[in-house]
Amino acid sequence: MKIALIGAGPRNLMALERLLAWYPRVQVSNLEIHLFDPFGIGGRVWQSDQPHELLMNSLAAKITLFTDHTIEMEGPVNPGPTLLEWAQRSGITFIQAGHYEKANYLVKEIGHLTSESYSSRALFGVYQDWFYQQLVQKAPEMVHIELHKTAVKTVKGLTHHAYELRFDDSAETFDGVSMALGEGMSEPSSTEKELTHFANEHHLIYLRTGYPSEQAYDSIPAQSSVLLRGLGLNFMDAMIMLTTHRGGKFHRQKDDTLVYEPSGKEPKIYAGSGRGFPYHARGFDQKAVGETRPLYFLSNQLVAHMIENQEQMSGQEFLNDIYSDAACTYYTKLVAQKYTGISAHEFEQAFQNDPLSKEVLDDYGIAEEDRLDWEALAHPDAFAKTYADFQKVLLQYLDHDITEAKWGNKTSPFASAMDTLRELRTNIRKVVTYKLISDEDYAKYILGGFNSFNSFLAVGPPILRLEQLLALIKAGVIEILGSQLQLETSGNEFVAYSKRYPEHKVAVKSVIEARLAPVDIRISRNELIQNLLETGMARPYELHFQNGSTKQLGAMDVTTETAEMIDSDGDPVPNVYIWGLSTEGRHWLTNGSPIPSVNDVRLRMADMIANQILTYTD
């Protein structure tokens, strides 16, 4: 049997491990597994030679590629070290033996790595290298594993489940295919083309959305002016690449704040976004690996019952359940700390019985200023009338958010509530995957608002990044322009301003799109994706509304249970699987890395796909 794994990042590395775990259980004598990725192991995102300042967004202690006892799967459990455990046990020896280009940086990082550390992306790439090498070394004699550092250009069906893959000047036939293609690059939009043309005509710089490790940050001259469009995770990467990567230094003061010492090579950085505020920081993680808080509203039991009985809820009920679980965490922590005359258990029971009413809060005397206000969270600058007002609000927001995050995700009411939003992800994913709300409500409530708000609240950077941003603002290196960011061209310059404060306009010589591009297979530059769409082997996912209309999304359509690709006729493509970012929209929040001891969906899918590939029958 011959299997192709297209993409050699974390997903297909997990699939490889699961194929080897299943192999002794199935009736397959000789097994060939071929991995394809022009960037090698780790794929494009996790290269070990990328700038060392680029960090992951999860703790090293909570990253793994190994299965554990919590994974709901049929295959055998093969436990192994987390990223942190591997680094501390054998990382330095492996790095020194591997002759990595930036070995000194990697070894130095490991020397400072603790359970509270966020790993560099480069180190996670090395962990993946080690993981792959371990699998190859321990593979049974009848299993052949081969890595091709090339891109697959086409997949063509030959028989019911035999496929010809073309790569380089070769073509080979495979019995099963798993595709995990990553983000990729898309064709430029009309706006991007116009801005590129304007920049070229006037000797300016315009950098469209791209991989942070590949962006031409060095092209931005020192002491020049640059606009970063976006205030999410990509903004944080750009901020660091334009400051500390150029020699600037942060110094921690006795009061635990940071002060920035410029190198003189920085540009003047302006930034803004639709909301106008950076994402909330992740709370200091006080939880043990695998520790979670019970969910009472969008509970495991409710979701399992709805899936089993093919029931649906309204989109508003769905959001109410999400916010009620987060609010329950918030108020329970608040009462235990600030309202000590109240029984926290009694309050929690009362809140669970009536989470949407103010009566419970009134009855227990919860002050107005202590109440969780989702509308105020969505619009932090609602009462800022002038640009000067906004700057004050922004500094207050950063100070408060850093304080709350440092307090911890089991102590701070706010940080704890945002952590509950993260712990709800598994059940939110199931609601989307199994269509437990209608397509109308999915478009209206999830695509139309919740996704952006959830990212702002619960997909933020480590605390350190917000501390650094605050220091850079105080040092005059960065200026945040505000919400509803506008970008115009005037004369031979770009002009940027907030629509809320149009009186404050800045002219800049460079613009960087510091935000994630939407994943859309219809405009992807990935040659394989375009081939699959053109030949009808794949199709974009569509929402179907009750009035007979449809809305096409940029996600690859796949089967609900098995992750098999669906062709243009609506039929599953036998033994061809696609998962990860290419399915964003059909599935929910498909980025991120596997987490140990929480029944991680990525590890579950790896086991399911491996089982199906090896045991596929007509």
Q: Rounded CA gap, 342 and 428, in Å?
A: 32
pLDDT at 549 over 90: yes
Could you read off the pLDDT of 34-77 as tens digits, one per residue? 999 999 999 999 999 999 999 999 999 999 999 999 999 999 99
* Residue 610 φ then ψ, to 5°: -60, -45
Q: Is there a domain that residue 35 lies in?
A: yes
Mean pLDDT over residues 586-601, rounded? Answer: 96
Single residue among 480, 513, 546 that ends a domain in this structure: 513
Whether residues 383 and 500 share a domain: the answer is no
Whether residues 181 and 203 share a domain: the answer is no
* Strand ranges (E), 73-179: 118-120, 143-148, 152-159, 162-167, 170-174, 176-179
The pairing of beta strand 176-179 with beta strand 572-578? parallel
Whether residues 265 and 123 share a domain: the answer is no
Number of domains observed in the structure of the chain: 3
Q: What is the DSSP letter of 228?
A: E
Could you read off the pLDDT of 197-214 as tens digits, one per residue? 999 999 999 999 999 999
- Range of 218's domain? 190-279+461-513
Q: Is there a domain that residue 291 lies in?
A: no
Whether residues 30 and 132 share a domain: the answer is yes
pLDDT of res. 29: 87
Instruction: Indicate the SS3 state at residue 243.
Output: coil
Q: Give Cα separations from 380 to 362, 373, 401, 459 (angstroms).
A: 24, 10, 12, 17
How many other CB atoms are found less than 10 A from the CB of residue 388?
A: 11
Tokens of 185: 């690059």
Whether residues 569 and 438 share a domain: the answer is no
Mean pLDDT over residues 587-611, rounded? Answer: 97
Q: Is there a domain that residue 294 lies in?
A: no
Q: What is the end-to-end Cα distance of the chain in Å, rounded?
A: 15
Could you read off the pLDDT of 233-283 as tens digits, one per residue? 999 999 999 999 999 999 999 999 999 999 999 999 999 999 999 999 999
Residue 486: strand pairing partners? 497
Whether residues 233 and 133 share a domain: the answer is no
Q: Rounded CA gap, 512 and 289, in Å?
A: 37
Single residue among 421, 439, 458 that ends a domain in this structure: 458
Closest CA to 514 of 290, 217, 257: 217
Q: Are 182 and 45 in contact (CB under 8 A)?
A: yes
Average pLDDT, the chain: 97
Single residue among 416, 434, 458 that ends a domain in this structure: 458
Could you read off the pLDDT of 135-172 as tens digits, one per residue? 999 999 999 999 999 999 999 999 878 999 999 989 99
The CATH number covering residue 491 comes to 3.50.50.60
Whether residues 46 and 147 share a domain: the answer is yes
Identify the H or E element spanning 115. none
Whether residues 66 and 177 share a domain: the answer is yes
HSE (CB half, 13 Å, CA atoms) of 438? 12
Whether residues 448 and 489 share a domain: the answer is no
pLDDT of res. 161: 83
Q: Is there a domain that residue 288 lies in?
A: no
pLDDT of res. 338: 96
What percent of the chain is modeled with pLDDT above 70? 100
Whether residues 338 and 229 share a domain: the answer is no
The pairing of beta strand 485-490 with beta strand 162-167? unpaired
Q: Is there a domain that residue 42 lies in?
A: yes
Centroid of chain to Cα 439: 23
pLDDT of res. 159: 82
Q: Is there a domain that residue 413 lies in?
A: yes
Q: Is there a domain that residue 222 lies in?
A: yes
Whether residues 247 and 200 share a domain: the answer is yes
Single pTM value for the model: 0.97
pLDDT at 618 over 80: no
Whether residues 345 and 404 share a domain: the answer is yes
pLDDT of res. 517: 81
What percent of the chain is modeled with pLDDT above 90? 97
Q: Is there a domain that residue 284 lies in?
A: no
